Amino acid sequence: MRRPRCHTFRQTAVGGHSWQRRELRVMHGARPTLRIGILIIGSLFWDNSERAVWRRERLVIEDKQRIRARIRYGRESTAGSRKGTFTMTFSGSAAPGIAYVVPCRNEISDPAGLLEEARLLARAEKLDGAARWKQFGAIGLLLRNADANRLALELRASWAQYFQTHLDPSCATLTCCATNENAPLGGDGLLQMPWPAGLDAEVNLDGVLATVNTPTIVDGRYLGPKKIASSLVHAAKNANYLCENVLAGIRTFEDRSIWHHICALDPPFIREPEYSERFVRLVNMPLTSGCIETLFGWVRRSES
């Protein structure tokens, strides 16, 4: 019996980084597919509201990978349940921290499939509307090798067209950043950052989607750990977001500095039973990898 003919597509190294070549063996007449993941830097990873349903239905959470990511507590929430809390943003001027890439359950075979993943991610982030995009942020795409094959080229072109058609060019997310960095999202909807570097293994996907939030910038700079701690103590009156990120393994180079400023303010909530274990873990987090050792090294130098 004759074997059916196959088409083979090979992906090669990108940007000088060597990575395992993967063959997409596609039965004759079928379309190739690309593997997409979600780059997660905050509560999208641990929030157990409707986001838990999204994670269960759309992601292979057991295949999550820790990555190095330049992130910080850079956006101050001014309304809602997290008023006074600083939430996570990408920041090219931040020292590397730790985030996650989680594969999507479904492989992508056409632009409609990619847009569906982006739409559901936007819904989970409450960014499912043009007004919300303009005020809070937008979804960006990063392809490992946009020239890998015809499908990758098609996805990049269709994504840019959709993004430029639906997003208001005046959206602050496209321009808002500190003076010593560039905005992480381009006008074509592509993330302006390198391919994620895995802490434990290579990120063997073809692309990632990520939420880019508009940061809070004052006089060209991010607000520092002291201001973040003060906002948590006096406005939010809790540090739930910070603690949950730490317990989930999401770290920034300013974590300990924020914590020390919270302690200096001595708010009543740090003595409540539900906080005790969390803050002890924050202070005594074991240095289990070179990346974390380096991370805390930066913090110690900044605090000295």
Per-residue model confidence (pLDDT) at position 280? 64
Q: How many angstroms separate the CA atoms of 3 and 277, rounded?
A: 60
Higher per-residue confidence, 16 vs 140: 140
List, for residues 79-120, the tens digit of each pLDDT value: 777 888 899 999 999 999 999 999 999 999 999 999 999 999
In this structure, are strands 36-40 and 207-213 parallel, antiparallel, or unpaired?
Answer: parallel
Q: Which among 55, 57, 119, 127 has a CA at the least distance from the CA of 87?
A: 127
Each domain of the chain, given as residue ranges in start order, spans: 25-222
- Percentage helix, strand, coil for the chain under 3-state DSSP, each rounded to 5: 40, 20, 40
Query: Mean pLDDT, to the nearest integer, of 289-301?
Result: 38
The pTM of this model reads: 0.82
Query: Mean pLDDT, to the nearest integer, of 165-170?
Result: 76
pLDDT category at 165 given cuts 50, 70, 90 is: confident
pLDDT exceeds 50 at position 291: no
Q: How many angstroms separate the CA atoms of 186 and 183, rounded?
A: 7
217's enclosing H/E stretch is: strand 217-218
164's enclosing H/E stretch is: helix 150-166
Give me Rg for the CA atoms of the chain.
20
Higher per-residue confidence, 63 vs 14: 63
Q: How many angstroms separate the CA atoms of 280 and 276, rounded?
A: 6
